[in-house]
Amino acid sequence: MWLFVGLGNPGQKYENTRHNIGFMAVDAIVRRHSFSAWSKKFQGEVATGELNGQKVLALKPQTFMNLSGTSVQAAMAFYKIAPENIVVFYDELDLIPGKSRAKKGGGSGGHNGIKSIDQNIGSDYWRVRLGIGHPGRPEMVSSYVLHPFEKNDAAWLEKLLDEVAREAPLIIENKIDLMMTRVAEAMRPLIGPKETKEETKEQGHGI
């Protein structure tokens, strides 16, 4: 069994904010692959489905970002899911909008949702980082990530979420690197191939 976690903050106030792109990614996977309706469990919202014949639990913690790990730990413990079968989708300041990266383990990069998960279950799980760009100055980060996406973000955002959802079954085949390659190729016409300074330094969320 697999656990797909999207990070974000609950409530209409935060619904379309940059910090909630993790929620949006899991929503897209649930829609595309006809998972069950959302229900409340593990201090979060859950939906169940299958990818490539394996059961997947989608989870959106409703604890607010800084306590995400309590919800993840509860679901992990109940279903006895191994860390390597947990995939967390979340916003990344240090990638330009539309870029994405995946890795297993590592640090939190200053992301408080990831910090909370690390504290509760350790760090040996998969992270899918979805680029939202950086506002340019550290003091602007808080308002930036909690601000809704702009209208001109729609093209790359919708495409990124569609591609992540389309390629998600590759995760179950332990081909997450291939998944990310395909997503990157699909996004290239919209965002270009080159990395920027934001992708080579750790700014940190602090949120």
Catalytic positions are: 19
- H or E stretch at 88: strand 86-92
Helix (H) or strand (E) holding 112: helix 112-121
Paired tokens of 53? 């014949």
CA distances from 76 to 20, 60, 89, 97, 117 (A): 22, 13, 16, 31, 11
Which tokens in the block code for residue 91?
């916003």
Residue that the structure tokens 């899918």 belong to: 128
Distance CA 177, CA 82 (A): 19
* Cα separation, 44 vs 64, whole angstroms: 10
